[in-house]
């Protein structure tokens, strides 16, 4: 597919950081209509399990407002056809639509969130592989009038070499950009991709790296015993010029750097990530000369035991970081007052396996889900599939409620997104409407 350069006019908003009011701290900075205060709903994108319920992937909506009579209860679910390794989601810039992707069959489902208590499937996008040669749509990152999607693999060999795909908000592909495999700044790119993080004020986008379809669809027990397969994980991050969508610098970050979180504190110029295989926190920051540098700044748990850090959530003031480690079921909190030397100051066992972690903007509520990938989740009694919600007072996590997805036959709980009722819509009217549907 021939690449087209985005016009500067389209990204004029990228010249300055957009004001942030409240919401999940992992959202794109281009998302408007941010939640002010208490989130009303949490939406969980779940992987279908054969023989469980209808067996299909689902978007499950749970009431998250403590004032509601349905607090902590599933109030809506919508199944999509089949099982395709449901994984991540992302809002469009106007927050009207939620895009949700599948890593196996490459389908993208677009939900209308005008009535967030009852999302409506309005479009299915299934041409990303045919049009671009990239597969495994993973990260959905809102841009002005656009949706930038980071893929994980490719149609040629199902390996890790992949790219970025830009859609308009109607779901039409505008351009496809490969992750670099050449040498830039003295480091050779591996072509791998995973997450996206943009700092509009600096006109910088960071991408991280994971692995290809051949690995992420393999049974984890088999994978870790396959020496050649274990070599096929990403070990780089890339810094891009956002307006031109061109790579400017490649960093060596061994061990599969996953989620990227920029500090949201005004004036900060750094981002942080965690490496899954080496259990490290890495800082990406400008040096005194204005050059971006990446360096290992902290250890997560005991790397020898491969705790497998899988998700991170930065606080709104940039002073703290939640880290979930899948294998040991731990949720850790790091003090980032000095991002050059993060310190673990709190930890708690929050599940037999834990994956995603999201926090409210005020940092008082922490949401955790359990599933990583269908073939990577634990077996037997350890295959816990839950959403757990905690209050955080700065000293301890206190569980408020739990939704057992196994018990309710809803599948494997993976990614989460928050929504709130539109202004003027009362809690009582919402409950009545949901009850009637």
- Residue 8: what pLDDT? 39
Integer Cα distance of 323 and 320 in angstroms:
10
Nearest to 46 by CA among 421, 431, 386: 386
pLDDT of residue 5: 44
Nearest CA to 407 among 84, 85, 100, 49?
A: 49
**Cα(232)–Cα(197) distance, rounded to whole angstroms?**
23
End-to-end CA distance of the chain: 44
- What whole-number distance in Å separates Cα of residue 59 and Cα of residue 108? 13
Contact 150, 160 (CB under 8 A): no
Tens digit of pLDDT at every position of the chain (437 positions): 444 444 433 444 443 344 444 567 889 999 987 787 899 999 999 999 999 999 999 999 999 999 999 999 999 999 999 999 999 999 999 999 999 999 999 999 999 999 999 999 999 999 999 999 999 999 999 999 999 999 999 999 999 999 999 999 999 999 999 999 999 999 999 999 999 999 999 999 999 999 999 999 999 999 999 999 999 999 999 999 999 999 999 999 999 999 999 999 988 999 999 999 999 999 999 999 989 999 999 999 999 999 999 999 999 999 999 999 999 999 999 999 999 999 999 999 999 999 999 999 899 999 999 999 999 999 999 999 999 999 999 999 999 999 999 999 999 999 999 999 987 555 544 444 444 44
DSSP code at position 18: P
What is the pLDDT, as a whole number, of residue 425?
56
Contacts 24+ apart (CB under 8 A), 142-145: 142/27, 142/28, 142/30, 142/31, 142/90, 142/91, 142/92, 142/93, 143/11, 143/28, 143/30, 143/93, 143/198, 144/10, 144/11, 144/12, 144/13, 144/14, 144/30, 144/93, 145/10, 145/93, 145/169
The pLDDT of residue 16 is: 37
Instruction: Measure the CA–CA gap between 387 and 406, rounded to whole angstroms.
Output: 11
Helix then strand count (H, E) for the chain reads 5, 30
pLDDT of 19: 43
The CA distance from 110 to 385, in Å, is 24
* Per-residue pLDDT at 7: 44
């Amino acid at each position: 597919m021939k690449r087209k350069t985005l016009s500067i006019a389209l990204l004029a908003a990228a010249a300055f950081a957009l004001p942030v009011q409240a919401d999940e701290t992992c959202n794109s900075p281009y998302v408007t209509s941010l939640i002010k205060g208490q989130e009303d709903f949490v939406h969980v994108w779940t992987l279908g399990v054969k023989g469980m319920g209808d067996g299909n992937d689902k978007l499950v909506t749970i009431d998250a407002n403590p004032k509601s009579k349905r607090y902590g209860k599933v109030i809506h679910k919508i199944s999509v056809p089949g099982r395709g390794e449901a994984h991540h989601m992302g809002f469009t810039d106007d927050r009207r639509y939620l895009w949700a992707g599948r890593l196996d069959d490459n389908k993208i489902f677009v939900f209308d969130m005008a009535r967030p208590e009852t999302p409506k499937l309005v479009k299915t996008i299934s041409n990303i592989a045919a049009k671009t040669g990239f597969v495994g749509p993973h990260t959905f990152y809102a841009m002005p009038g656009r949706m930038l999607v980071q893929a994980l693999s490719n149609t040629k060999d199902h390996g890790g070499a992949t790219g970025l795909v830009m859609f308009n908000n109607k779901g039409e592909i505008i351009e496809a950009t490969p992750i670099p495999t050449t040498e830039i700044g003295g480091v050779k790119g591996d072509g791998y991709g995973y997450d996206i993080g943009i700092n509009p004020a600096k006109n910088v986008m960071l991408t991280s790296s994971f692995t290809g379809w051949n690995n992420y669809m393999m049974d984890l027990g088999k994978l870790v015993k396959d020496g050649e397969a274990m070599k096929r994980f990403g070990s780089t991050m890339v810094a891009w010029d956002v307006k031109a969508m061109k790579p400017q610098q490649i960093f060596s970050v061994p061990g599969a750097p996953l989620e990227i979180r920029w500090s949201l504190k005004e004036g900060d110029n750094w981002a942080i990530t965690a490496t899954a295989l080496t259990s490290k926190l890495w800082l990406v920051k400008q040096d005194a000369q204005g050059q971006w540098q990446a360096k290992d700044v902290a250890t997560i748990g005991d790397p020898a035991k491969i705790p497998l850090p899988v998700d991170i959530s930065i606080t709104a003031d940039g002073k703290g970081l939640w880290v979930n480690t899948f294998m040991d079921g731990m949720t850790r909190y790091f003090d980032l007052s000095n991002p050059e030397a993060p310190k673990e100051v709190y930890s708690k066992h929050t599940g037999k396996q834990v994956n995603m972690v999201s926090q409210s903007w005020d940092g008082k509520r922490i949401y955790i889900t359990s599933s990583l990938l269908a073939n990577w989740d634990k077996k037997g009694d350890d295959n816990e599939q839950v959403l757990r919600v905690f209050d955080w007072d700065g000293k301890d996590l206190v569980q408020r409620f739990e939704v057992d997805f196994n018990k309710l036959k809803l599948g494997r709980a993976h990614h989460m997104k928050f929504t709130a009722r539109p202004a003027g819509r009362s809690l009582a009217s919402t409950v009545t409407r949901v009850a009637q549907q």
